[in-house]
Structure 1
Amino acid sequence: MHDYQTFLHHKLIIIGAGASGLMAAVTARDLGIDTAILEGNDRIGKKIAMTGDGRCNITNDYTMTGTDDEVVALSRKYHSSQAEFPLPVLQQFGIRQTIDFFNMLGLPLTTLKEGLMYPMSLQAASVLDIFELALEERNVPVYLNNKVLDVTVSSDHPRFKITCRTETDEQVVYTSEYLFICTGGLTGQNAGTDGSGYVLAQNMGHAMVEPVPAIVQLKVQYPYMKALSGIKIQGRAHILVNGEVVRSETGEIHFADYGFSGPPILQLSRIAAVHLSRGDSVTLSIDLMPKRTKEEVIEFLEMSWGTFAHRPVAESFVGFLHKKLVPVLLKEARIDQEPNLLCQDLSWKTKGIFYKILKRWDFKVIDTHSFEKAQATAGGIVTKDILPDTLESKLVPGLYFAGEVMDVDGEFGGYNLQWAWSSGYAAAMALGKHIFK
């Protein structure tokens, strides 16, 4: 890739060389559209390189059922103020098309646990390498170190005037007939994502849903979290809003000094973030023994305490609970100052505390980690002002959106990258149909 510091015109200019921008560029060029990319970083796909623990979780084949409802099931993995908005895009380019696309580029995929799909090399760098090759083979110029400062729209041609600042502090102007905003949300700020696309869109008349972090760790208010830090359990987590259970997830839950992480927590975090931003009360409830009902837990403990009545209470949890949990459970039951209390001497009140905590241990959620730690942005450009089939602006003809900049976010497990691929493709195909009729 080379830096260009000249005044240039292209039929289509794409702002952002992230996942959606790269997909849009390859697709548009294959349709014969003169296409260029403006990127503020010194290389393409910087955020892609950071995803999936450096392996890049490209998509998720969990919803591939081979039935007519396959795409509908996929669309339910997404959230937006307009719930049905993602469906027309996913109908055009779903998981099967994503797999075929990367095979076409020379990047075969492999499926690991829970449907998570990665490049066969298990290296995110492979994704960037293959896109660099694809852009070079198609002669798509990528203007690196070009930070977009402003976009002006004209009724004449060229329609769009894009002013950039280069790394040497020069101002460079590009013009185009069509413009794609593929700048991402507010996650991946270490990769240069700063929400600038929101400002550009708002300057052109678009409204926003206030962004909040999603797929992110939860902070809780609890005095003994440091003592629990480092514990990992197979449990079930429930998120409650104003006392009502909204959603539940099962899997490996991670305890940390600030609160909780792990796949179930990340899946629930969007609900927590949105409702915290509204001032609602949010509670995280942990079920330490999800494979047993409360009645079965009571029966199990009573049998254990009866069989080993002569043992201290602290030892009665050995073998089925993480060792670091026990001292905190004793504090909750207010018997931590009685280390020699025997099982046979437990009161019914104390037993009741244990029964409750093992099946429903409540923690007050006070915040999430920041966008810097989040894997997705909930919120963004309001979708009611965007055509759902083409992703073209209803307010500014010739302006298109793709990726996370819109008010669409997916669940944990590769769904946000899938939205980037799908929306980048759909926008480019719509433009191709418009230009070539």
Structure 2
Amino acid sequence: MKNYDAIVLGAGAAGLMCAAVAGQRGKRVLVIDHAEKAGKKILISGGGRCNFTNTGTAPDRFLSANPHFARSALARYTPADFLGLVERHGIAWHEKTLGQLFCDGSARQIVAMLLDECDKGAVDFAFGRPVGAVDHADGRFRIGDAHAPALVIATGGPSIPKMGASGFAYDLARHFGLKVVEPRPALVPLTLGGDDPFRALAGVATGVVARAGKAAFRGAMLFTHRGLSGPAVLQVSSYWRHGEPIVVDLLPGRDEGWLRDAKRATPRASVGKLLAGAVPQRLGEALTGALGLSGELANLPDAKLAAAERALAEWRFLPSGSEGFAKAEVTVGGISTAELSSQTMEAKKVPGLYVVGEAVDVTGWLGGYNFQWAWASGWAAAQAL
């Protein structure tokens, strides 16, 4: 029987961070993962360059049944803290739009950095080892021939199952009597019904403001063979509920009355010609047809043009669903924050049991926020081990 101070289940972002920090604090740590190597989701993130954090990180950019839960961990381990680690390892990086930080080179550098930090803490690894039964007795957790007074669940959520993701964390949480907020796909493309004419626009992208409920995001929207994708749609997908529409401003920034003003300035022009200068041609043609606005502007009543303006500013798509966990970048929902300490990530009614990263009911926006939650929650738990 091998004795440890902590066993970490999952060699992803949160698990590696937790193990490295705890190990360097003098704790004997074992990381167990069913995969053959560490950080598989890290490696595919950000197009292989890993959007490892976001300088705009704030609690209001995360979804949770308790919107205040993430505040403590995020305040104690910040994007600047992680960036300092990246720079100490000599990893070149750059900032894209909206505070997103990426490696200049490869996501492999982030995995190598985390493994190096684990080596500094003398962390043990057991790869290619599916976790079977987890026994808990006399204040100790036992998995196979290893036991410890602390167990960290860092196995993520069910998004991207082809990478080995599953609902294992939820099953284990329920085994210990912890509640789970219903998980659903997030940062995921949305589908449109088979008869929706906009599916014929696959490959067309345009800048929009997309809304679902009270959430609104500006960015690109991409029409696909199955429906809608692109950053703006991925963002609102986390807030979207089945049966609800998403509302899209197809021409953001236009002043009220722009079509009527165009009628007075260029009465011989058509709505189609105006749209062709503002959106991709195929989309402009589809919108003109859907609005029923053929012919010259001079021949169209102002009331009809005003109605067209409203329609273009509040175009309603009714998704038939999403592309599910297979295409979801992350999961909304997870192990209930009501069960956990926001300071330590420890389960309130199971001393020694911790939950970090995506397994927790905390989900960030697109753009590096979920990695920052992984680093911050892993760091918080490591301070308490």
Name the TM-score, length of structure 2 as normaliser: 0.93
Q: Which residue of 1 aligns with 2:61?
A: 77
Residue 348 of structure 1: CA displacement? 5.7
Contact map agreement 2:22 2:383 (CA 8 A) in 1: yes
Q: Which amino acid in 2 is paired with 1:187?
A: S
Structure 1 residues 154 and 108, CA gap change in structure 2 (3 angstroms): farther
Aligned to 1:155: 138
Q: Distance in 1 between matches of 2:259 and 2:47?
A: 37
Aligned to 2:384: 430
1:248 is the counterpart of 2:184: no
Q: What does the per-residue CA deviation read over 1:206-253, in whole Å, with 9 as the maximum and x for residues that have no partner?
A: 11001001111122346212322222112222224xxxxx12221222
Separation in structure 1 between the aligned mates of residue 46 and residue 211 of structure 2, nearest angstrom: 25
Across the aligned residues of Structure 1 and Structure 2, the Cα RMSD in angstroms comes to 2.1
Whether 2:152 is the aligned partner of 1:198: answer: no
State the shift of 1:291 in Å: 1.2
Partners of 2:203 and 2:2 lie apart in 1 by: 54
The match for 1:58 among 52, 66, 70 is 52
Which protein is bigger by CA-based radius of gyration? 1
2:231 alignment partner, one of 260, 263, 279: 263
In the TM superposition, what is the alpha-carbon distance from 1:296 to its structure 2 partner? 2.7
Q: Output the CA distance in 2 between the equivalents of 1:56 and 1:261.
A: 20
* 1:387–1:300 CA distance, 2 compared to 1 (3 A): same
Number of equivalenced pairs = 384
1:33 to 3, 6, 27: 27
**Shift of the alpha carbon at 1:344?**
4.1
* Structure 1 residues 96-155: Cα deviation after superposition (integer angstroms, max 9, x where no partner): 21112333444354322221112242x111111222333334332110001112211102
Contact 1:393/1:399 (8 A) holds in 2: yes
The answer to whether structure 1 residue 141 and structure 2 residue 155 are counterparts is: no
Which among 380, 397, 409 is matched to residue 351 of structure 2? 397
Instruction: Return the match for 1:125 from 103, 108, 111.
Output: 108
Structure 1 residues 225 and 426, CA gap change in structure 2 (3 angstroms): same
CA distance in 2, matches of 1:345, 1:44: 65
Is the CA contact 2:16–2:115 (under 8 Å) kept in the aligned structure 1?
no
Q: Which residue of 2 aligns with 1:415?
A: 369
Cα separation, 1, equivalents of 2:204 and 2:10: 40
Deviation string 1:243-287 (CA, Å, 9 cap, x unpaired) is: xxx122212221223222122212111110xx32xxxx4112222
**Which position in structure 2 is the counterpart of 1:238?**
211
User: Could you tell me how far apart the structure 1 residues matched to 2:37 and 2:279 are?
Assistant: 48
- How far residue 200 of structure 1 moved from its aligned partner, in angstroms, is 1.1
* Cα distance change on mapping 1:400 and 1:298 into 2, 3 Å: same
Tell me how far apart the structure 2 counterparts of residues 298 and 375 of structure 1 sit (CA, whole Å). 42
Q: Note if 1:91 corresponds to 2:75.
A: yes
2:333 maps to which of 379, 382, 390: 379
Partner of 1:44: 38
Q: Distance in 1 between matches of 2:154 and 2:225?
A: 36
Q: Note if 1:180 corresponds to 2:191.
A: no
Counterpart CA distance in 2 for 1:151 and 1:313 is: 65
Matched, 1:219 2:191: yes
Letter paired with 1:202: R
Aligned equivalent of 1:300: 262
On the 8 A contact 1:111/1:117 being kept in 2, the answer is: yes
How far residue 302 of structure 1 moved from its aligned partner, in angstroms, is 4.7
Q: 1:325 aligns with which of 275, 283, 289?
A: 283
Matched, 1:209 2:181: yes
What secondary structure does 1:98 align onto?
A: helix
Q: Distance in 2 between matches of 1:133 and 1:209?
A: 35
Q: In structure 2, do the counterparts of structure 1 residues 314 and 402 end up closer, same or farther at CA, with 3 Å as the change threshold?
A: closer
Provide the C-alpha distance between the structure 2 equivalents of 1:371 and 1:406, rounded to a whole number of angstroms: 16
Q: CA, structure 1 residues 400+317, in 2 after alignment: closer, same or farther (shift >3 Å)? A: closer
Query: Contact between 2:23 and 2:120, CA under 8 Å: does it hold in 1?
Result: no
Quote the Cα distance in structure 2 between the aligned partners of 1:375 and 1:37.
24
- Distance in 1 (CA, whole Å) between partners of 2:338 and 2:256 is 46
Is the 2:263–2:297 Cα contact (8 Å) retained in structure 1?
no
Distance 1:231 1:53, change over 3 A: same
TM-score (norm 1): 0.82
Supply the distance in 2 between the matched residues of 1:330 and 1:75 (Cα, whole angstroms).
41
